[in-house]
Structure 1
Amino acid sequence: MTIELVDGKAGTAHISSEDKAIIHQAKFSKSDVVFDWGDAFKCSMSSSNRATIGTGCASIQGLDWHITSAESVTISNGSQGMKRNDIICAHYNRNPKNGNELVELVVLKGSPNATAAADPTIPSGKILSGAVDAYMPLWRIPLDGITVGTPVRLFTTRGALWDSVTQTCQLQWQNTASFVPASYGASNTITVKDGLIFVDLSSFRSTVKVGDYRVWLFEAGVKPSKTIGLGCVANVAGAAYGKQARWNADGSVTLIGGVGSSDIVQCFPKIIPVPDGVEFV
């Protein structure tokens, strides 16, 4: 029988981690989530070879896990004249022999490169499809030679359920010399609430000529799980045409069609429905 009252009494132990993962994915998100609890997994370098991860609570593909006392991981030494990115991940593992499950912190080591560092490949695995391993990226540790740089956070924390009814993406200008903000401009935010997307981009004067361009970059908040077309969001002063935009999966906003080196782009508020199949993470 495939129908089950998961939280009901059945006379025998019947609630599995698979049950909880399905329900949590349906309620919250299929994506990995870090909640705003404890230190929210704050990362600090206690030495050149040691990264400390603070307390926090998260969900990896619907399975909840937490750190109640700071944990440390080892970062391998860098190489003189080489750049490297390491990624600290939460690693889920299910023992194929007895079915026992655990989560632990691991470091995925990047490949050294003399010119530019690249992140290592994060192994993919879907727990509900039977994978025995899954990885949740938390922090990037950049190394330049033997020098360890500032850790880079790879997640956005989620507030409590009742605080997440309204979700906001805060944007920042790609460059205020190229795109000069209008005085008393808008908030440069995209807000998601009650199935609607509220776009509030600030007007600007362009000093450069570009084609399709990410004028607004992600600063904080939520991102769409896939690119969303925002439609027409602006007019160009003195021109008989408007400008469309798209909200990218990395949180940035691209102005479509480009701008001229003296265009004054007059943005206006926009409200559109959330497209089917889009989540916000």
Structure 2
Amino acid sequence: MEIITGYTGKPHVTSEQDRDVNIGVVGEGSYVLRTGMQLAAEVSSNNEIKIRDGVLMHQGCTASIKKNTYDSLTITNGSQGMKRVDLIVARYEKNQDNGIESLDLKVIQGTPAESNPAAPQYTEGDIQAGDYVADMPMYQVIIEGLNITEVKKMFKVIGSNKDLSNKVAELNKNITSVKSVNKNITKMIGGSKIVTAKASTSVQVFTNSEINAALGVNDSNNENTIVSMANGDASVQPAHVGSSYSKGAWNAVFDRNAYAGSFRINYVIFYFGK
């Protein structure tokens, strides 16, 4: 084992080790961090796009544009009557001869077309696997005629651990109370019942008092009873059936308006009370 964040008397931390630490903390994908201008794109002219300051992490490899500065990218002129999609990528490269690594913004020019131009291909690559080129798509630049008409963001902005903690705290604050009921089923009955529906999306099948009488109990309610229902007469009533509890009664709920008339509901009642 080798220490990474420690003094050993000589330079020893490798870029591979640093990327592995970042991947373990943030993830193996490619993201822009929530700092600075978050590498926002600004169209300066039809031939220039400025990428504002921020930090990105591309497969664990970090790079930045210094605060209050920008990188300028040149966009080749469009053609009258033609459309084109260019791609701005953050490109990792490793020199095969001396091992020097870089991470810079590049423009990949697309192919002009009269309609529906395709975005150009880019090199996905796997940095930690030793690939010499790996692109992170940043923006699609939409060009119509001579004009840049849109710049579409393609990356995800990932929050900090503090952001995550704040979200968890907010979720916890919004949770009121959850009552957990873990009991064995003490009674269960099944059967079939003819009900008469109106032209609606539900029909009452059982009241609490009817279930009490059927089970021989006196406290059946929505906290200790489950009623599962199915349409037993689909030729008469071609609607799928579920169940819901409301105002002291269990209802068959349809996936569409029911036809007025009588039909059969098959059911199972589970009781886990006393």
User: Does residue 27 of structure 1 match 2:28?
Assistant: no
Letter in 2 for 1:103: L
Matching residue of 1:40 = 38
RMSD: 2.6
Task: After superposition, give the CA deviation of every residue in 1:64-122 in whole Å (9 maximum; x if it has no partner).
Answer: 11001211101111122222111111111122222221221110111222220221112
Distance 1:81 1:26, change over 3 A: same
Kept after mapping to 1: 8 A contact 2:124/2:136? no
Structure 2 counterpart of 1:158: 158
TM-fit CA distance, 1:137:
1.1
Whose helix fraction is larger, Structure 1's or Structure 2's? 2
The letter for the 2-side match of 1:101 is E
2:143 paired residue number: 143
Shift of 1:166: 7.1
Instruction: Label 1:241 to 1:112 Cα distance change in 2 as closer, same or farther (>3 A).
Output: farther
Return closer, same or farther for 1:31/1:50 CA change in 2, 3 Å cut-off.
same
- Give the residue type in structure 1 aligned to 2:32: V
Q: Return 110-119 or 14-23, whichever deviates more.
A: 110-119
Structure 1 residues 150 and 241, CA, compared in 2 at 3 Å: closer, same or farther? farther
Q: Is the 2:31–2:157 Cα contact (8 Å) retained in structure 1?
A: yes
Contact 2:36 2:54 in 1 (8 A): yes
TM-score by length of 1: 0.57
Aligned-partner SS, 2:106: strand
Letter in 1 for 2:161: L
Q: 1:108 to 1:164 in 2, by over 3 A?
A: farther
* Partner residue in 1 for 2:104: 104
- Alignment CA distance shift 1:166-1:125 (3 Å): farther
- What's the TM-score, normalizing by structure 2? 0.59
Verify the 8 A CA contact 2:51 2:71 in the aligned structure 1: yes
Question: Can you give the 5+ residue segments of structure 1 that lack an aligned partner in the other structure?
Answer: 169-190, 194-237, 243-258, 263-281
Query: Would you say how many aligned residue pairs link Structure 1 and Structure 2?
Result: 177
Residue pairs, 1:122-271, within 5 angstroms: 122-165=122-165, 239-240=240-241
Deviation at 1:8, TM superposition (A): 2.9
Q: Secondary structure at the match of 1:89?
A: strand
Structure 1: how far apart are the matches of 2:242 and 2:10? 67
Note the residue ranges of structure 2 that are not aligned, 5 or more in a row. 173-238, 244-254, 258-274
Q: Secondary structure at the match of 1:55?
A: strand
Q: Percent identity?
A: 29
Displacement of 1:126? 0.8
